Amino acid sequence: MSPRHHLDETTVLGWASGALSPEMAAVAATHLDVCRHCRSRLATAEGIGGTLLEQQQPSTDDAMRMPHLREHMLAALDAHPNRRVPPRREEATAGPDNLPRALHPYFGTSWRSLRWRWLAPGVRMIRALRTSGHALILLRIDPGMSMPLHSHGGIELTQVLAGSYDDELGHFGVGDAADLGPETLHRPVTSAGGPCVCVAALDAPLRFPGWFARMLQPLVGL
Amino acid sequence: MNIRTLPIGVSPFDQTRAMSSSGAHPTEDAGYWSWQMAAVSERRDRDSFMRIYDHFAPRVRLYLRGLGSTESQAEELAQEALLRLWQRADRFDAMRGSVSTWLFRIARNLHIDRVRREPLWQSIGEEWIDEDIPPANTTERHVEQTDLAARIDTLPAVQARLLRMSYFEAKSHQEIADELVMPLGTVKSHLRRAFLKLQSGLKEFP
């Protein structure tokens, strides 16, 4: 899979510096898991972190603590010889029924056990419960549906998990990320074929300009 | 004179000057640590490891305190990060990154896992790195790291400041915007420009 729509630079930097909310990080991880290009950019962003770490200048207080901590470290070296640790990869990512691993804490591991909630004709949703304040939702939209025109109060980070859609920004298929800021106004239309399933993290309510969409807003609760 | 022999308490600015005036080439520095790391990995060389420890442990502690770890958490997590470097030395590959980047990544993940309690971070980043980055010429990597350091020094002050706030305080871009009374869009475009500038010239992995 080679995604054509990627994470914004600020999202890559946010991941590297640990500044993303858990919900944004979960969606970003879902993209990073399938996107070599963004993993490569992440390696650069982490290289920046390493360089900044190295450039720091510890204080004298730190030096005072050193002998004590150093002794502990030397003792730990004896207690922990080098060991070979096989790379960890969760098996759960493999099967066709498995949700992307970064979403497991929020939606469980299985596609089949998802309990979709009817939202509007052709639109189903699941909203993650235990979140830090940002919303995290799974959306399942029937083929050929036109979503209301909307913009975002803040950031909307969406990853396409199945199917595809088109909007003013282009065609978004499986693996693509839509990393949208408040300036984006768009009207996604799902493609023919299967339903389009996306996971999205939002840090502020969506803004619907139309009256129909405004009526919908309390139902969506976003 | 190089960075390791500087008197304690020298500011980063003085340090940069001291380094450039001494004529020490920082490329040798990145190479020096990788060389020490190779000795740890191949021969379990304790002296080499303790050289790495003495240089990096205080820096990792400082970084963790900036993220919001308490003094004792920072000490504990820094010890753990360094111990992990010792234990997994065989997985450290000088051709796939520098010691400082490796430690940065471990320390960040430990902090988010233990202090912020977000379990997603335990293993995720490490695995991506192992799989993805093709081995390159080691000298090339050190030159890249050196380039990066030089490029950070040439960033406009505001970009450098935002970058440091983001990395060393793990502040969200919105929090940075609030603190500096700057529109979020402006914060993001500064950071985006900084990243692109730092990235340009570095070799893109396929």
Q: What is the pLDDT of residues A46-67, one digit of tens each?
A: 999 999 999 888 877 666 778 8
Q: Do B127 and A55 touch (CB under 8 A)?
A: no
Beta carbons of A49 and B118 less than 8 Å apart: no
Size of interface A-B (CB pairs under 8 A): 220
Give a yes or no: residue B15 inside a domain: yes
Q: What is the pLDDT of residue B51?
A: 94
Say whether both A55 and A144 belong to one domain: no
Instruction: Please check whether residue B194 is in contact with residue A51, taking contact to mean a CB–CB distance below 8 angstroms.
Output: no
Q: Confirm whether B140 is domain-assigned.
A: no
The verdict on A75 touching B (C-beta cutoff 8 Å) is: no
More confident call, B31 vs B55: B55
A98 within domain boundaries: no
Is the model's pLDDT at B1 over the cut of 50? no
Interface of B with A in 51-80 (CB under 8 A): 53-54, 56-63, 67, 75, 79
User: What pLDDT was estimated at residue A41?
Assistant: 92
**Which CATH number fits the domain that encloses residue B129?**
1.10.1740.10
Indicate which CATH number applies to the domain containing B172: 1.10.10.10
Q: How confident is the model at residue B202 (pLDDT cuts 50, 70, 90)?
A: low
Same domain, B16 and B85: yes
Number of domains in chain A: 2
Q: Are A172 and A5 in contact (CB under 8 A)?
A: yes
**Confidence class for position B11, pLDDT limits 50, 70, 90:** very low
Alpha carbon distance A10, B160 (integer Å): 14
> For B4, which residue in chain A has the nearest alpha carbon?
A57
Interface residue B5 vs chain A (CB under 8 A) = no
Contacts of A17 in chain B (CB under 8 A): 108, 166-167, 170
Residues B68 and B116 in one domain: yes
**Residue B148 belongs to some domain of the structure:** no
The DSSP secondary structure of A149-211, one letter per residue, reads PBEESS-EEEEEEES-EEETTEEE-TT-EEEE-TT--B--EEPSSSPEEEEEEESS-EE--SH
B147 pLDDT band (50/70/90 cuts)? confident
Assess A62–B contact: CB distance below 8 Å, yes or no.
yes
In a domain, A177, yes or no: yes
Interface test with chain B among A27, A54, A68, by most B beta carbons within 10 Å = A54
In terms of Cα–Cα distance, which of A222, A109, A102 is closest to A159? A102
Q: Is B143 inside any structural domain?
A: no
The proportion of chain B whose per-residue pLDDT surpasses 90, expressed as a percent, equals 41
Both B64 and B100 in one domain: the answer is: yes
Condensed to tens digits (0 to 9), the pLDDT of residues B78-126 reads 999 999 999 888 777 665 678 999 999 999 999 998 888 886 766 565 6
Report the pLDDT value the prediction gives residue B126, as an integer from 0 to 100.
Answer: 60
Q: Is A87 inside any structural domain?
A: no
Residue A33 lies in a domain: yes
Q: Are residues B87 and B182 in the same domain?
A: no
Is any Cβ of chain B less than 8 angstroms from the Cβ of A168? no
Percent of chain B with pLDDT over 70: 69
pLDDT at A183: 77
pLDDT by residue, tens only, chain A of 222 residues: 689 999 999 999 999 999 898 999 999 999 999 999 999 899 899 999 999 999 888 877 666 778 889 999 999 988 876 665 555 554 445 578 899 989 998 999 999 999 999 988 899 999 998 778 788 999 999 999 988 777 766 778 999 999 999 999 999 999 999 998 877 888 889 999 999 999 999 876 555 455 545 555 555 555
Contact with chain A for residue B149, Cβ under 8 A:
yes
Same domain, yes or no: A159 and A73:
no
Is A1 a domain residue? no
The tokens for B92 are 């450290």
The enclosing domain of A19 has a CATH number of: 1.10.10
**Scanning every residue of chain B, which has its alpha carbon at the shortest distance from the alpha carbon of A76?**
B83
Query: Residue B150: inside a domain, yes or no?
Result: no
B94, B141 in Cβ contact below 8 A? yes
**Which range marks the domain in which residue B185 is found?**
155-206
Query: Do B50 and B128 lie in a common domain?
Result: yes
Write the ipTM. 0.84
Range of the domain at A49: 9-79
Chain A residues within an 8 Å CB radius of B58: 58, 62-63, 66
Instruction: Quote the number of domains for chain B.
Output: 2
Residue B42 belongs to a domain? yes
Query: Using an 8 Å Cβ cutoff, are A125 and A140 in contact?
Result: yes
Q: Is the pLDDT of residue B179 over 80?
A: yes
Whether residue B53 is found in the same domain as residue B107:
yes
Domain at A164, CATH number: 2.60.120.10
Are B62 and A56 inside 8 Å of each other by CB? yes
Contact B203, B140 (CB under 8 A): yes
Q: Is B32 on the interface with A (CB under 8 A)?
A: no
